[in-house]
């Protein structure tokens, strides 16, 4: 099975900072890599699908890139409402989430 490793597991940044989260797959996943945001007590929300496609309604400060085994979620200018945990997710034979990255405001 493919394993997904996210880093960092947590980060603290200032409002307006550029933030990047990485997701590394143990095997080639092509571009089948999605990113979700989860706020406390809420269901996850799809942000990016197929590595780099912005889901409808998601602010343009979010972007995704990568292919194969290395992927990045970027927030160009961190906002207070972006405080959440972010998860990558891939599919080969079974779906798999990364361990999550908790984003906090400094």
Partner 1 sequence: EVQLEQSGAEVKKPGESLKIACKGSGYSFPYYWIGWVRQMPGEGLEWIGIIYPDDSDTRYSPSFQGQVTLSADKSTSTTYLQWSSLKASDTAMYFCARGRELAAISAFDFWGQGTKVTVSS
Closest CB to partner 1 among residues 61, 96 = 96
Strand partners, 44: none
Which of 14, 16, 43, 81 lies at the binding interface for partner 1 (CB under 8 A)?
43
Q: How do 53-54 and 45-49 pair as beta strands?
A: antiparallel
Look at residue 59 and give its three-state secondary structure.
coil
| Shortest Cβ 41–partner 1 spacing (Å) | 9
Task: Based on the shown chain and the rule CB under 8 A, indicate whether residue 22 belongs to the binding site for partner 1.
Answer: no
CA distances from 56 to 49, 53, 89 (A): 10, 9, 18
Task: Based on the shown chain and the rule CB under 8 A, indicate whether residue 49 belongs to the binding site for partner 1.
Answer: yes
CA distances from 48 to 1, 66, 72 (A): 23, 12, 11
| Shortest Cβ 94–partner 1 spacing (Å) | 5
Residues of the shown chain interacting with partner 1 in the complex, contacts defined by CB under 8 A: 1, 32, 34, 36, 38, 43-46, 49-50, 55, 85, 87, 89, 91, 93-100
């Amino acid at each position: 099975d493919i394993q997904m490793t996210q880093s960092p597991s947590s980060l603290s940044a200032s409002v307006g900072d550029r933030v990047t989260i990485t997701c590394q797959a143990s095997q080639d996943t092509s571009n089948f890599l999605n990113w979700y945001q989860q706020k406390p007590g809420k269901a996850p929300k799809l942000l990016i699908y197929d590595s780099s496609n912005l889901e409808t309604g998601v602010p343009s400060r979010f972007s995704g890139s990568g292919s194969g085994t290395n992927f990045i979620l970027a927030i160009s200018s961190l906002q207070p409402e972006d405080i959440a945990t972010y998860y990558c997710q891939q599919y080969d034979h079974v779906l798999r989430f990364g361990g999550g990255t908790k984003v906090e405001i400094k």
